[in-house]
Structure 1
Amino acid sequence: MNRTSQLLLTGAHGAVPQPMRCSRRSTRWPCWGAPEPGALTTTVINIRSDTAVPDHIVWSLFNTIFMNWCCLGFVAFAYSVKSRDRKMVGDITGAQSYASTAKCLNICSLVLGILLTVVLIVLVSTGS
Structure 2
Amino acid sequence: MLKEEQEVALLGVPHNHAPLMSTVIHIHSKNSMPDHVVWSLFNTHFMNSCCLGFIALVYSVKSRDRKMVGDLTRAQAYTSTAKCLNIWDLIVHIMTILLIIILVLIFHVYQ
Q: Which range, TM-score by smaller chain? A: 0.5 to 0.7
| Pick aligned residue for 1:98 from 73, 78, 81 | 78
Question: How far 1:48 sits from its partner (Å)?
Answer: 8.8
- Give the letter aligned to residue 117 of structure 1: I
Relative distance call for 1:127 and 1:76 in structure 2 (3 A) is same
Q: How many residues were matched structurally? A: 84
Structure 2: distance between partners of 1:109 and 1:59? 11
2:97 is aligned to 117
Question: How far 1:126 sits from its partner (Å)?
Answer: 2.5
Deviation sequence 1:75-98 (CA, Å, 0-9, x none): 001000000011111111111010
- Is 1:52 aligned to 2:32, yes or no? yes
| TM-score normalised by L of structure 2 | 0.68
1:8 is aligned to none
> Which structure 1 residue ranges, 5 or more long, are not aligned?
1-27, 29-46
| TM-score normalised by L of structure 1 | 0.59
Bigger relative contact order, structure 1 or 2 (CA pairs below 8 A, ≥6 apart): 2
Question: How far 1:110 sits from its partner (Å)?
Answer: 0.4
Runs of 4+ in 1 over 3 A off after TM superposition: none
> Which structure 2 residue ranges, 5 or more long, are not aligned?
1-14, 16-26
Q: What is the aligned-residue RMSD (CA, Å)?
A: 2.1
- Is 1:67 aligned to 2:67, yes or no? no
- Give the letter aligned to residue 105 of structure 2: S
Structure 2: distance between partners of 1:78 and 1:92? 17
Q: 1:19-58, aligned counterparts within 5 Å? A: 50-58=30-38
Larger radius of gyration between Structure 1 and Structure 2 = 1
Q: 1:83-94, aligned counterparts within 5 Å? A: 83-94=63-74
Structure 1: distance between partners of 2:106 and 2:29? 57
Relative distance call for 1:76 and 1:121 in structure 2 (3 A) is same
The percent identity for this pair of structures is 61
Question: How far 1:125 sits from its partner (Å)?
Answer: 2.9
Greater strand percent: which structure?
A: 1
